[in-house]
Amino acid sequence: MGSFLSSLPFHLLFCLTVFWLLPLPSHSADPDPLQDFCVANVSASISVNGFPCKPASEVTSDDFFFDGFTKEGNTTNIFAGLNTLGISMNRLDFAPGGLNPPHLHPRASETGVVIEGKLLVGFVTSNNVFYSKVLTAGQMFVIPRGLVHFQLNVGEGKALAFTAFNSHLPGAVVVPINLFASSIPNEVLTKTFQVDAGVINTIRSKFRS
């Protein structure tokens, strides 16, 4: 209980930030919705710019409330009520030394708050300028849309952060996986990184499932 109470101000800070920044149409990367809500039908086989809507007659109060962030490392749940509303959130759990590797979100800017631990957060601009800072509990960061960024746990214990996006489907392009776990020809990668094929094959081997 003491740990929860000590972190309560940080949760409130983050909730207020989401309330003021994300729901406003001028800040959303997605088109404005044409209806009050479109609770996701996550079992549907067709998906165009999000999930199809669950029939209004089947919508319940539970569709607009979510407890998926209460469990560490829980990445399986979908908050159906956010569908088409132009916002989304993540819980990020880091083991000591844990890394969220360089990646980008093509359809959204990202903001986040550190709840526990110490994170090095950084991003690189299109002009190859690198910005970074070590953040602790209660401190926030923002990543402009489409820029490569990362988070690294530089503390001695675990770290926890909540992030939010101004799109309900921000997308995630994980740079090393896209480069070395895809079918990009070795010739392209050897020329890009100016190394021989043996180096590329060694790196590729680390990303094979």
Q: What is the pLDDT of residue 15?
A: 54
pLDDT of 64 strictly over 90: yes
Q: How many angstroms separate the CA atoms of 84 and 99, rounded?
A: 30
Among candidates 151, 158, 109, which has minimal Cα distance to 132?
151
Mean pLDDT in residue range 59-82: 86
Q: What is the largest CA-CA distance in the chain?
A: 60
Question: Can you read off the two tokens belonging to residue 8?
Answer: 């309560």
- Contact of 39 with 63, CB cutoff 8 Å: yes
Question: Can you read off the two tokens belonging to residue 112?
Answer: 């986040």
3-state secondary structure of 142: strand
- Contact of 85 with 168, CB cutoff 8 Å: yes
Q: Are strands 118-124 and 110-116 parallel, antiparallel or unpaired?
A: unpaired
Q: How many angstroms separate the CA atoms of 159 and 116, rounded?
A: 5
- Contact of 89 with 165, CB cutoff 8 Å: yes
- Backbone phi, psi, residue 39, to 5°: -60, 130
| Confidence band for 14, pLDDT divided at 50, 70 and 90 | low
Question: Can you read off the two tokens belonging to residue 185?
Answer: 């020809």
Q: What is the pLDDT of residue 78?
A: 82
Q: Are strands 148-153 and 99-104 parallel, antiparallel or unpaired?
A: antiparallel
Residue pLDDT, tens place only, 71-115:
887 766 788 899 889 999 999 999 999 999 999 999 999 999 999
